[in-house]
Amino acid sequence: MSETATQWMCELCFPDAVEIGLVAPGLSLILHEGKYRLLWGQGHKGDVFLTFDNPPWPDPDPEVKPNLSKEDDALAMQWLDAADAELEEKLRTHASAGYTLVQTCKESGYGTTGHKLLNHWLYNKCGRLIADAR
């Protein structure tokens, strides 16, 4: 049986939440009260790792292609700005969990290809999970 977000969310704490998917082992993405949230461990209310102010969206240029059109380049820059604005500060405020977060994300592909910064990888991964769930 593969791991799903169900194993990581307490249904008593989040009775009306929509499970989006597993970002990395032990780190799941849910939609609760109109906000996307990352949950650690058993997914109780106290296990919310972070809440996105705006829905993350997939990177429009994950391979960083050269010579993009002006429109595609503008969209790629907008995505970078959104990922940085959403996660850069929030990831800094959780320094005690930083090592665990990096190791967990490495188990799911962070650092092997594509995004070199954790906030970009995480924002893209969550954005892809949301897009796939629609």
pLDDT exceeds 70 at position 7: no
Question: Tokens standing for 48?
Answer: 């919310």
Report how far residue 46's alpha carbon sits from residue 117's, in angstroms, rounded to the nearest whole number.
Answer: 27
Measured between alpha carbons, how far is 67 from 59 in angstroms, rounded to an integer?
A: 17
Is the pLDDT higher at 55 or at 66? 55
Name the least confident of 12-26, 67-81, 93-107: 93-107
Mean pLDDT of 21-42: 90
Distance CA 49, CA 76 (A): 26
- The C-alpha atoms of residue 4 and residue 24 are separated, in whole angstroms, by 10
Domain segments of the chain as ranges: 5-133
Segment among 69-73, 76-80, 90-94 with least mean pLDDT: 90-94
Per-chain mean pLDDT for the chain:
83
Residue 19's nearest CA partner among 1, 40, 3, 4 is: 4
- Whole-model pTM: value is 0.84
If residue 49 lies in a helix (H) or strand (E), which one and from where to where? strand 48-51
Range 77-81 contact pairs with CB under 8 angstroms and sequence separation of 24 or more? 80/120
8 Å CB contact between 21 and 36: no
Return d(Cα 64, Cα 73) in angstroms, integer. 10
- Check residue 130 and give its pLDDT: 96
